Amino acid sequence: MAFVNEISPEEREGLSNLYSKISSERSRRILHVNSEVRKSLRDFFIGEGFYELSPVILGPVTDPLNHPVSDASINYYGHKYGLTQSMIFHKQIALLSYEKLFIFSPNVRLEPLDRQATGRHLAEFSQLDVEVRDFSKDDAISLAERMYCFVIEQVRKSCAEDLEFFGRALSVPHIPFRRYDYSLAKERYGEEFEASLSENHKDPFFIENVALLDREFYDREMEERPGILSDMDMVYPEGFGEALSGGEREYQLERIIDRIKKKGQTFEQFKYYLEVARMGLPRSAGFGIGIERLVRYVLGLRNIEDATLFPKVIGKFSL
């Protein structure tokens, strides 16, 4: 048929590979685990009294991130909207209505090509965003620990055959997880300390108290330790790397303005968020965890693109 010739060889190969992948027993099992992971996460947070918020796909303000990505904005009836890179600002604002909330949020981050080789990055992924009013960093860590243990326990029960298929044996770690101070870990293990620690651990752990300029402006700077943030990352063992990021948030207008200045960013970029902050934001803490990364770790997959049926692989044609 004539229209078939309009597909490039690269696109045809991509579609053929996708067809074979989706038709396989391996993909069916991965999809089952992905589904059970989502169910377990939802069950956990509903059981904890959280409200589920619908995701925002387009908005005039989104997470600036701490590394460059390509612009994914559009003009629509005279207004500029961007695809959501995370729900950080929306979930903070939503706490004016809800005390505890979670969102399964599709995130689009048009990452540079050099991130394709990490096995941990996609241009589109699902993130579970969590935020709680009047929470501290320690509260967020405790919640993340209980969430993770609950999910692993449930997946071991509901996906036993799938885990056996992938030769994966999971254990539920003891709480509390080990913690490392960011600056001390960097000093002791070097610039690649996260990767080194991940390779040499058998259970997840936390890296906390990140240096101010190494993160976005919205994580709260400690008053007792200027230049240090009250935030954290949870890291998977076995070399799987970062699992989730979070911490306490800046919520006072003057401090938010100061942090934007320190990052060298413009007020124009965040004017709508700043206007809401002027009206008043609640104090909060929370985190975001990537669903595909969690599935990748649970099944011991080499590449994150295998953790979802329609992966948007950086630099490649994707359906």
* Beta-bridge mates of residue 288: 129, 245
- The total domain count for the chain is 1
**Does the residue 231 lie in any domain?**
yes
pLDDT averaged over every residue in the chain: 94
Closest CA to 120 of 291, 246, 235, 241: 241
Task: Say how far apart CA 290 and CA 107 lie, in whole Å.
Answer: 10
**Does the residue 318 lie in any domain?**
no
Mean pLDDT, to the nearest integer, of 78-105? 95
**Does the residue 144 lie in any domain?**
yes
CATH number of the domain residue 132 falls in: 3.30.930.10
User: How large a percentage of the chain has pLDDT more than 90?
Assistant: 82
**Does the residue 317 lie in any domain?**
no
Q: Residue 25 CB: number of other CB atoms within 10 A?
A: 8
**Does the residue 220 lie in any domain?**
yes
What is the reported pTM?
0.94
Contacts of 255 (CB under 8 A, 6+ apart): 220, 221
**Does the residue 297 lie in any domain?**
yes
Mean pLDDT, to the nearest integer, of 3-18? 82
pLDDT at 2: 53
**Does the residue 4 lie in any domain?**
no
**By residue range, what is the domain housing residue 123?**
9-307
**Does the residue 43 lie in any domain?**
yes
Q: pLDDT for 193-240, tens place per residue?
A: 999 999 999 999 999 999 999 999 999 999 999 999 999 999 999 999
Mean pLDDT, to the nearest integer, of 241-254? 98
pLDDT at 4: 56
Q: What are the backbone angles phi and psi of residue 42, rounded to the nearest 5°? A: -65, -45
pLDDT at 319: 87
Task: Say how far apart CA 64 and CA 145 lie, in whole Å.
Answer: 27
Burial of 282: CB neighbours in 10 Å, binned 0-12, 13-18, 19+: middle
